[in-house]
Amino acid sequence: MKYFSTFLLLILIIPAVAQENLIMNVDGRNQVSLNGEWNYIIDPYETGFYNYRFSERQEDDREAYWNRPTVRNISDRLEHGYQEPYTIKVPGDWNSQAEVFKYYEGTVWYQQEFDLPPVKDSEEVVLYFGAVNYEAHVYLNGKKLGMHKGGFTPFNFEVPKSLLQEKNNFLVVKVDNKRHADEIPTLNTDWWNFGGITRDVKLLLLPETFVQQYSLQLDPEQDIKKAHESGIYTLSGSIKLNEQPKNSEVTIEIPELKAKKQVEITEDSANFTFQVKDLQLWSPQNPKLYEVKLSIAGNEIQDKIGFRKIETSGKDIMLNGEKVFLRGISIHEEIPQEMRRANSRKDAAKIFEYVRDLNANMVRLAHYPHNENMTRMADSLGVLVWSEIPVYWTIDFENENVLEKAKNQLKEMIIRDRNKASVIIWSVGNETPVSEARTKFMKSLIGTARELHDTRLISAALEVTKDDEGVQHVNDPLGQFTDIVAVNEYLGWYGALPDAKENSTWEIAYDKPLFFSETGAGAKAGFHGKKEERWTEEFQKWYYEETIKMLRNMPDNYSGVSPWILMDFRSPRRNHPVYQEGWNRKGLIDNNGNKKLAFDILKSYYSNIKKASEDKNEKQEQQLIAPGAELKLLADGFAFTEGPATDADGNVYFTDQPNNKILKWSAQDEKVSVFMDNSGRANGLYFDKDGNLYAAADNRSELWKISDQKKVTIISKGFEGNKFNGPNDLWIAPSGGIYFTDPYYKRPYRNFQKQPIKEQKVYYLSPDQKQLKVAADDLIKPNGIIGTPDGKTLFVADIEDNKTWKYTIADDGSLQNKTLFTNLGSDGMTLDEKGNLYLTGNGVTVFNPQGEKILHIPVEKEWTANVTFGGKENCTLFITAMDSVFGLQMNVKGAK
C-alpha cells in the first residue's frame, strides 16, 4: 500500500504535462482572488516535507506541513504552525518582505484558508498560479494537487469537488527557490533569485466544458500587401477544450468587425480560419485591439486582441508589410526602489512610463517571461515585445530532462501570450556558450516554438567574438536557425574603453536582420568625474555616445537595439562595496528613480530615428502631391462653391448654390463658364456612365438627372409621402444604383421651413430607379458620400458626429459591416486610385485605406466644401472652398 500511494503521488507530480492543461486568459474568466496575506514557515531543512530519515512524508503524516497543525490535547507534540506574525504578501517575492528573507534560497511554506464561493454542480474549480519561483508543491485539505517547476510561467490544477469544503479550505504551497545545475535557469545568473509566490493566485470557477486555450491571429501565410489591396484579411487559429464533449461548436465573434465563425470541435480541439474585412491592423502608431468573444454552450470568454503581421524580408524586420526599426530597451522584472519583483498593473504602468519617456518602441523583457500585466499593457500602448525563457549561460545542454524543462517553460510562455499582438519575438535563450550540444539543444527549442504555428519571429541573444586582429565577429552557428540575429555587445565595458567602438571592425556572417539585444556600461548615479573614470555617469554617457557612433556605421541589416538596461537591478554578482553593493549598475535610471546622464543620450538617438522615420513617411505622403506642385486658384468670385463632378473628358462641373448655377471648368483650356442657370440650387453632383449629370437639387429637395442637352428629369422627391430634407451629396455605383445623403439645413430660398423627415438618412435608389430604400438611418447628419470603383465599399461622413463610416455594399445594394473609418467628418469627399480617401472641412485631409491620416492640404478659406479628381490626366485635385475653386497637381489619379 505504501508503495502504491507513492506511485500515485508520482503520477500526479509529473511536471511535463503542466502546459497541456494550462488555462489562458484567466482575466477573462469567472474567478476569485486568493491574493492577500498568507502565513508562512521558513523551512531550510525541508522538515515539513521529509522525515528524519529524509524520505518524503506520507500524505497523512500530521507533521507534514501540508496538513493542518492541530493540537488535540495539552500533551500533543507539534513542531510547526501557521500563525501571526509570520505572514507574507501574495503576490510578492519573499526577499523584499522581511530582512530574514533577503538572501534566503530554499523552502518556504505558504498557507492560506478560504471559504468556497458559490459553485454550481456543473462547474469545475481550478487553482491558478501566475508564477511561483521556482518549484511549487500545492496541497489542498491535506491532498497534493500537483507540482510545477519554472519560476516565471503560469500553471493550474483542477481541484476535485470531493476535496472541497464549504468553509476553511486549507491551502498550502511549498515553494523552493534553490538553484540547481540541471534546472532552467541553472546555478549561475546575473539577477537576484527572488523566491516566493510572485504572481496572482486565483480560484477559477469554470463551466463543465470550456475553451482552455485558443489562438487567434492574422494568418501567418497570408501576403499582407495583397490583403491591404483587397481589404480582406484571413484570421486563423486554434481552439482546445478542457474535455472531449460530443458534437460541440465554439462560436468566435468579433462584434466590431461583424465577424462570426462557428468552429466544429472534434475530440477536444480544432483549427480554423475565416475572413474579415475592414480590419485596422495593430501597430505602435495604432494599437487597435478588438473585443473577441468565444462561446461554447452559452458560456462566453472575452479577450482583446490586436492583429498584425510580423515577418522578415531579407535584411529587414517588417511589421504589417513595412520596415520597422526596433528602438528597444532591456528590462528586468523589478521595481528597484523597493528592491522587489514587479507584478501589478501599477508596476507595469510605471515601467512603461520610463519606456515612453525614452522614445522607445520596443522592450526586451529579459531574461524570463514577465508577468502578464506587462504584455497586456504593451498590447494596449503599442510597444513591441521580445519575450524570453531563462535558458541563460551554462545550462546543462547534454541533459534531455533539462531540454524538457526548457520546452515546458517555452510552451507555457507561448500559450499565455500567443494572442498578444505586441509580442513579436520569442527568444529561446541568452549568451549560451557555443558547442555542438548547445546548438542542438537550442535548435530543438526553436523547433518547438515553430511547431506551435505561431506568428512571431524567433531569436536568441548570442555573443560577439573577437579575433586576434580585434575584428568583432557575429558568427554563432545558432544564427542559422533564428529569424533575426541578435547579439549582446559590450566593447568598451568588458574589454577596452568606449573609444574603441567607433572604428571597430565587424564581420557579420548573416544577412538577416541584425539586432543588438544588449549593450551597456555601469555607473553609480550621482557619481561624477572624468569620462575615463569607471562608475562615473560621464563614463556611461561616453559609452553610449561611442556606441551610437558605432551603430551608425553598421551594415544595413542593423534593425534595432535594446541597451542594457532601463533600471539598476539586484544581482548577487555585483559586490563592489562603493559602486555596486549588490546592484548591477548598468541602468539608465538608478534604484531611486534618478535618470543618469546616458538616459538622455539614448533618448535623443531614438528621437532622431523616430523623427527620421516620420519624415520618411511624411515624404512618402508628400509624394502624393506632384513634385513642386502648389495649390492653384482656378477661379473665384462665386458665392459658395460645391459639388464638383468630372465628366469622361476630365471637365469638372461644380455648383454655386446661392447663385443657383452649375459651372464648368474646362480641362482643355482651364477656363470656367456657366453650364446651367436655374440649376435647382444644386449641391452635390455626379455623372452616370452615359454622361448624364445627377444633381442633389436642394431648392425643392429633389434628385435631378440633367442630360447633356440640359434636359432636367426629376428622379425622386421624397420618401414614403414626405419630401426629402434636402439631398446633399450623391454617388452612383457601377450598377447604376444611387446613394445619396439627406441632411437637413435651413435654406432661406425654400418653400418649406420645417424639417420634413425627422431622421437624416442615407437613401438608395435601385439601378432601374424604381425602388427607393433607406440605406442607413443610424447617422446623425450624413453628408459627404463616395464609393469605390468596384462598387463594394461606401464611405459616408457624419458631419455632426464628426466621423466617417465605411460600409460594405451587398449585392442587393444594402449596406453592411458598418465600421468607423476615422474620427473626422466631411462635407464632400473623393477617393484616389490607391484607395486614399480625401475629406474636407478644414482644408483637405487624406487618409490611407487603413484609416491613418497621411496628409493635410491646407486651404486658406474658412471652409473647404468638396473635392474631386479631374483634368485631362485625372490627376488634378479640384477643390471647392467658399468663393473659389482650386487645383492641385497630384502624383496619383482619381479612382475610376
**Smallest gap from residue 374 Cβ to ligand GCB (A):** 18
Q: For residue 380, what is the enclosing H or E element?
A: helix 372-381
Measured from the CB atom, is 364 or 456 closer to ligand GCB?
Answer: 364
**Smallest gap from residue 504 Cβ to ligand GCB (A):** 17
- Give contact residues for ligand GCB (rule: CB under 6 A): 190, 367, 430-431, 488, 518, 564, 584, 586
**Smallest gap from residue 391 Cβ to ligand GCB (A):** 12
Nearest residue to ligand GCB, by Cβ distance, number only: 190
Is 147 within 8 Å of 15 (Cβ atoms)?
yes
Residue type present at position 430: N
Measured from the CB atom, is 301 or 374 closer to ligand GCB?
Answer: 374
- What are the start-end ranges of the H helices in 566-686? 597-622
CA 642/CA 747 separation, integer angstroms = 15
Angle value at C-alpha 326, between 325 and 331, nearest 5 degrees:
175
Q: List the beta bridge partners of residue 77.
A: none
Is 877 within 8 Å of 867 (Cβ atoms)?
yes
Is 740 within 8 Å of 730 (Cβ atoms)?
yes
**Smallest gap from residue 344 Cβ to ligand GCB (A):** 24
DSSP-based three-state secondary structure for 566: coil
**Smallest gap from residue 367 Cβ to ligand GCB (A):** 6
Measured from the CB atom, is 490 or 731 closer to ligand GCB?
Answer: 490
Measured from the CB atom, is 154 or 328 closer to ligand GCB?
Answer: 328
**Smallest gap from residue 184 Cβ to ligand GCB (A):** 15
CA 328/CA 384 separation, integer angstroms = 8
Measured from the CB atom, is 236 or 488 closer to ligand GCB?
Answer: 488
**Smallest gap from residue 584 Cβ to ligand GCB (A):** 5
Give CA separation, 458 vs 41, 125, 306, 616, in Å: 41, 35, 20, 28
Measured from the CB atom, is 153 or 584 closer to ligand GCB?
Answer: 584
Measured from the CB atom, is 374 or 779 closer to ligand GCB?
Answer: 374
Question: How does DSSP assign 315-354, residue by residue?
Answer: TEEEETTEE--EEEEEE-SEEGGGTEE--SHHHHHHHHHH
Q: How far is CA 552 from the centre of its chain?
A: 29
Measured from the CB atom, is 392 or 740 closer to ligand GCB?
Answer: 392
**Smallest gap from residue 106 Cβ to ligand GCB (A):** 24
Beta strand 506-508 pairing with 472-474: parallel
Is 527 within 8 Å of 579 (Cβ atoms)?
yes
DSSP-based three-state secondary structure for 142: coil
**Smallest gap from residue 390 Cβ to ligand GCB (A):** 10
Measured from the CB atom, is 190 or 742 closer to ligand GCB?
Answer: 190
Residue type present at position 718: G
**Smallest gap from residue 491 Cβ to ligand GCB (A):** 12
Please count the CA atoms within 13 angstroms of the CA of 531 that sit on its side-chain side. Answer: 13
Measured from the CB atom, is 130 or 587 closer to ligand GCB?
Answer: 587
Backbone angles phi, psi at 810, to 5 degrees: -80, 170
CA 370/CA 491 separation, integer angstroms = 28
Question: How does DSSP assign 403-421, residue by residue?
Answer: HHHHHHHHHHHHHHHTT-T
Is 481 within 8 Å of 462 (Cβ atoms)?
no
**Smallest gap from residue 459 Cβ to ligand GCB (A):** 14
**Smallest gap from residue 492 Cβ to ligand GCB (A):** 13
Angle value at C-alpha 399, between 394 and 404, nearest 5 degrees:
100
Measured from the CB atom, is 128 or 392 closer to ligand GCB?
Answer: 392
**Smallest gap from residue 368 Cβ to ligand GCB (A):** 11
Residue type present at position 34: L
CA 684/CA 239 separation, integer angstroms = 51
**Smallest gap from residue 16 Cβ to ligand GCB (A):** 28
CA 462/CA 392 separation, integer angstroms = 11
C-alpha cell at 125: 474549480
**Smallest gap from residue 52 Cβ to ligand GCB (A):** 41
CA 881/CA 656 separation, integer angstroms = 11
C-alpha cell at 335: 521595481
Measured from the CB atom, is 488 or 655 closer to ligand GCB?
Answer: 488
Question: How does DSSP assign 757-803, residue by residue?
Answer: SSS--EEEE-TTS--EEEEE---SSEEEEEE-TTS-EEEEEETTTTE
Q: Sheet containing 652-656: which strands, arranged edge to edge?
A: 641-646, 652-656, 661-665, 672-677
- Give the list of residues 6+ apart from residue 96 with CB closer than 8 angstroms, or none: 194, 338, 339, 340, 341
Report, in angstroms and rounded to the nearest whole number, the Rg of the chain calculated over CA atoms. Answer: 34
**Exposure class string for 508-542: b at 16+ Cβ within 10 A, else e:** bebebbbbbbbbbbbbbbebeeebeebbbbbbbbb
Q: For residue 7, what is the enclosing H or E element?
A: helix 2-12
Measured from the CB atom, is 192 or 564 closer to ligand GCB?
Answer: 564
Q: List the beta bridge partners of residue 786.
A: 795
Measured from the CB atom, is 522 or 870 closer to ligand GCB?
Answer: 522
Q: How far is CA 656 from the centre of its chain?
A: 48
Measured from the CB atom, is 149 or 585 closer to ligand GCB?
Answer: 585
**Smallest gap from residue 355 Cβ to ligand GCB (A):** 19
**Smallest gap from residue 388 Cβ to ligand GCB (A):** 10
**Smallest gap from residue 392 Cβ to ligand GCB (A):** 7
Measured from the CB atom, is 301 or 331 closer to ligand GCB?
Answer: 331
- What are the start-end ranges of the H helices in 152-252? 224-230
Residue type present at position 517: S
Measured from the CB atom, is 207 or 520 closer to ligand GCB?
Answer: 520
Measured from the CB atom, is 109 or 368 closer to ligand GCB?
Answer: 368
